[in-house]
C-alpha cells in the first residue's frame, strides 16, 4: 500500500487496497463450472464426498475450503434433497464464522485503522421498515431454523443485525468479464462510499478483491475514494431509486448534482450538423447549436421510437437512425441489446454496426476507464478480425485500448490480464496467415478453440 504521507499524486491504475473476504460463497448457478473455494474454472472438478453438493479443483482447494465448509457440509446432508439458497448459505457461513471467533477478526485499512464485522453498517432501522426485506428475513429465519437446527442460533435482534450487514455490505464477486460468480463480505473495502462518477473500481482475482484507481488522486484520502455500487448506464432517477431502495441513502455525488451526463437521457441527432439536441421528456425540442430545428414529424417519430422493447429493438434502431444521437441513453440501451443478440446470432457485420457507437456511450455512462468498456472493445476486436482482413489495424486499436483499461482496472499481474487479455493478441497472428476469403470459414473453428467466454 502507498505511504499516505507522500505528496506526489497517485496515478490511475494504482492498487490502493487488497482484501480477502470475511466470508464468501460461490453462486449456485456456477457450481458445475467453478471451484467452490478458489472460484476458478476447472473442467475436472471433484465433488465433496461428504455432501456431494460443492466441488473443488482438487485436494488443495478442498483442504483450504474446509474451514468454511466444515460447518455447512453436515447441514447440507441433513436438509437433502433441499439445497439452501445462496443467501441462506451466506448468512449461515456468517453465523458460524462469528461463533468461532470471527467477531474478533479485523482487517486493516491503514496501519492504525481496522474494521471488524460489527463495525459494518447494519441499517437496522431502515431494514425494519422495509417490508420486502423483512419478509425475506422472516423466510430466511424459517429456513435457518431447519438448516442450522443443531447449532445455537443468535437471538433475533442479533440475527437482524447480521442480515442487515449482509444486505448492505455484500460485494458481487466478478469474473474478468464482470459476471457475478459469487457474493462476499469484505471488511476493509466496506468503508468505501458510492459515487455515480467513481474514481476507483473493485475487481477480483478469484475471491481476492482489489480496489484500483481509475482516476489520478492527489493523495490517499479514504473519504474521497469512491466506487460504484450499481450499474451506471441508467438515468439519474433510476440510479437514485436503486441506491435508496438497496442502500437507504440519497446520492449526492457530483454526477447526480449536475446534468452533464444525465441530460443525454433523450438526445436527438441534429439533421444538419449531427450534434446532439438534448431534450427533457414532455418538453419541446430546443433548436440545435447550429440553428436547425427538428420538425414536428421528426419530433413525433423521436418519441415513438424511444419506447424500449427488446423484441423490436432492431426496428427501433432503424426508426431512431438519423434522429437519435448515439450518446442518448435510450438509444445506447437498445444498441447494447442489439449488439448482444447480433453476437448470439453470429451476425458479425450487424454486431460491429451496433458495437462501434457504443464505445463512446459506454465511456460517457460508465466513465472513461471501466472494465465493461474494455470488454466491449475486446469483443469488437475479435469481431473485426473475423469479418474483414482490411481492418486489422482498426482491430489492433480496439485491442490496445482494451488492454490499457484492463491494466488499470485489474493490473498487469491479474490472471484476467495474463490469461485472457494478453493471449488475445495472438488472434492477429493467426488471422494474418489466413486468406481473406477463408476468414469467415475458420470463424467457427477458431471460436471453439477460444476458451474465452467473451464471444460466448
Ligand atoms: Zn480451486
Ligand atoms: Zn461437503
Ligand atoms: Zn449519484
Ligand atoms: Zn445542428
CATH number at residue 305: 1.25.40
Which ligand lies nearest the alpha carbon of 226?
A: 3
| Residue 426 and residue 304 share a domain | yes
Residue 444: strand, helix, or coil: helix
Which ligand lies nearest the alpha carbon of 40?
A: 1
Q: Is 193 inside a domain boundary?
A: no
Whether the pTM exceeds 0.85: the reply is no
C-alpha span between 269 and 276 (Å, rounded): 5
Q: Is 12 inside a domain boundary?
A: no
Q: What is the DSSP string of 142-197?
A: HHHHHHTTTS-PPPHHHHHHHHHHHHHHEEEEE-TT--EEEEEE-TGGGGPEE-SS
What's residue 220's pLDDT? 92
**Cα-to-centroid distance, 40 and ligand 2 (Å):** 18
CB atoms within 10 A of CB 239: 23
Which ligand lies nearest the alpha carbon of 286?
A: 4
**Cα-to-centroid distance, 403 and ligand 1 (Å):** 27
Pairing of strands 208-213, 15-19: antiparallel
Element (H, E) at 267: strand 267-269
Domain limit, last residue, from 114, 141, 169? 169
| Residue 287 and residue 148 share a domain | no
**Cα-to-centroid distance, 82 and ligand 4 (Å):** 62
Please give the residue range of the domain that contains residue 371. 262-455
Q: Is 236 inside a domain boundary?
A: no
| Residue 304 grid coordinates | 415513438
C-alpha span between 431 and 425 (Å, rounded): 10
What's residue 344's pLDDT? 72
| Residue 157 and residue 278 share a domain | no
What's residue 453's pLDDT? 37
| Residue 404 and residue 269 share a domain | yes
Number of structural domains the chain divides into: 2
Which ligand lies nearest the alpha carbon of 36?
A: 1
Which ligand lies nearest the alpha carbon of 83?
A: 2
Within 8 A by CB and 6+ apart from 197, the residues are: 226, 253, 254, 255, 261, 367
Q: Is 204 inside a domain boundary?
A: no
Q: Is 68 inside a domain boundary?
A: yes
Q: Are 307 and 283 in contact (CB under 8 A)?
A: no
**Cα-to-centroid distance, 382 and ligand 1 (Å):** 29
| Residue 196 grid coordinates | 455515480
Domain limit, last residue, from 169, 191, 208? 169
| Residue 266 and residue 162 share a domain | no
**Cα-to-centroid distance, 66 and ligand 2 (Å):** 8
- pLDDT tens-place values along the chain, 456 residues long: 545 555 789 999 999 999 999 999 999 999 999 999 999 999 999 999 999 999 999 999 999 999 999 989 999 999 988 889 999 999 999 999 999 999 999 999 999 999 999 999 999 999 999 988 998 999 999 899 989 888 889 999 999 999 999 999 999 999 988 889 999 999 999 999 999 999 999 999 999 999 999 999 999 999 999 999 999 998 899 999 999 999 999 999 999 999 999 999 999 999 999 999 999 988 899 999 999 999 999 998 888 777 654 456 777 888 888 899 999 998 999 899 888 878 877 778 888 999 999 999 999 999 989 999 999 999 999 888 888 767 778 888 999 999 999 999 999 988 888 888 888 887 777 766 666 666 655 554 444 334 333 443
| Residue 291 and residue 144 share a domain | no
| Residue 430 and residue 289 share a domain | yes
Residue 269: strand, helix, or coil: strand
Q: Is 16 inside a domain boundary?
A: no
| Residue 300 and residue 158 share a domain | no
Q: Is 126 inside a domain boundary?
A: yes
**Cα-to-centroid distance, 27 and ligand 1 (Å):** 15
Which ligand lies nearest the alpha carbon of 57?
A: 1
**Cα-to-centroid distance, 420 and ligand 1 (Å):** 18
| Residue 418 and residue 302 share a domain | yes
**Cα-to-centroid distance, 49 and ligand 2 (Å):** 6
| Residue 382 and residue 278 share a domain | yes
Q: Is 78 inside a domain boundary?
A: yes
Domain limit, last residue, from 113, 143, 169? 169
| Residue 274 and residue 413 share a domain | yes
Amino acid at each position: 500500500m502507498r505511504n499516505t504521507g507522500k505528496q506526489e499524486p497517485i496515478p490511475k491504475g494504482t492498487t490502493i487496497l487488497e482484501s480477502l473476504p470475511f466470508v464468501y460463497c460461490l453462486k449456485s448457478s456456477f457450481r458445475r463450472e467453478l471451484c467452490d473455494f478458489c472460484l476458478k474454472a476447472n473442467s475436472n472438478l471433484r465433488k465433496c464426498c461428504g455432501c456431494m453438493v460443492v466441488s473443488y479443483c482438487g485436494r488443495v482447494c478442498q483442504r483450504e475450503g474446509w474451514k468454511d465448509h466444515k460447518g455447512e457440509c453436515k447441514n447440507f446432508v441433513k436438509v437433502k434433497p433441499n439445497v439452501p439458497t445462496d443467501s441462506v448459505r451466506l448468512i449461515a457461513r456468517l453465523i458460524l464464522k462469528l461463533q468461532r471467533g470471527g467477531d474478533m477478526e479485523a482487517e486493516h485499512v491503514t496501519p492504525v485503522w481496522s474494521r471488524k464485522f460489527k463495525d459494518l453498517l447494519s441499517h437496522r432501522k431502515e431494514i425494519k421498515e422495509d417490508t420486502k426485506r423483512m419478509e425475506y428475513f422472516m423466510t430466511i429465519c424459517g429456513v435457518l431454523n431447519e438448516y442450522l437446527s443443531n447449532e445455537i442460533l443468535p437471538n433475533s435482534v442479533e440475527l437482524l443485525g447480521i442480515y442487515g450487514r449482509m444486505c448492505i455490505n455484500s460485494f458481487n464477486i466478478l469474473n474478468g468479464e464482470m459476471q457475478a460468480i459469487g457474493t462476499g463480505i469484505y471488511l476493509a473495502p466496506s468503508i468505501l462510499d458510492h459515487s455515480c462518477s467513481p474514481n476507483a473500481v473493485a475487481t477480483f482475482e478469484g475471491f481476492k478483491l482489489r480496489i484500483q484507481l481509475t482516476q489520478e488522486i492527489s493523495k490517499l484520502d479514504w473519504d474521497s475514494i469512491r466506487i460504484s455500487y450499481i450499474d451506471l448506464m441508467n438515468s439519474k432517477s433510476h440510479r437514485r431509486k436503486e441506491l435508496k431502495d438497496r442502500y437507504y441513502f440519497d446520492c449526492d455525488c457530483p454526477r447526480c448534482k449536475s446534468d452533464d451526463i444525465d441530460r443525454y437521457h433523450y438526445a436527438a441527432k441534429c439533421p444538419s450538423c449531427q450534434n446532439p439536441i438534448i431534450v427533457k421528456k414532455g418538453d419541446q425540442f430546443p433548436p440545435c447549436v447550429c440553428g436547425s430545428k427538428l420538425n414536428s414529424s421528426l419530433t413525433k417519430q423521436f418519441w415513438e421510437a424511444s419506447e424500449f422493447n427488446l423484441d423490436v429493438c432492431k426496428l427501433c434502431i432503424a426508426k431512431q437512425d438519423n434522429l437519435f444521437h448515439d450518446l442518448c441513453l435510450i438509444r445506447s440501451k437498445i444498441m447494447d441489446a442489439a449488439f448482444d443478440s447480433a453476437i448470439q446470432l453470429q451476425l458479425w457485420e450487424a454486431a460491429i454496426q451496433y458495437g462501434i457507437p457504443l464505445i463512446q456511450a459506454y465511456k460517457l455512462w460508465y466513465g472513461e476507464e471501466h472494465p465493461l468498456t474494455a470488454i466491449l472493445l475486446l469483443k469488437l476486436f475479435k469481431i473485426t478480425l473475423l469479418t474483414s482482413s482490411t481492418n486489422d489495424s482498426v482491430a489492433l486499436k480496439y485491442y490496445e485500448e482494451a488492454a490499457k483499461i484492463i491494466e488499470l482496472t485489474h493490473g498487469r499481474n491479474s490472471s484476467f490480464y495474463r490469461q485472457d487479455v494478453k493471449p488475445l493478441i495472438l488472434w492477429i497472428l493467426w488471422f494474418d496467415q489466413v486468406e481473406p476469403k477463408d476468414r469467415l470459414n475458420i470463424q467457427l473453428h477458431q471460436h471453439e478453440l477460444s476458451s474465452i467466454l467473451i464471444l460466448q
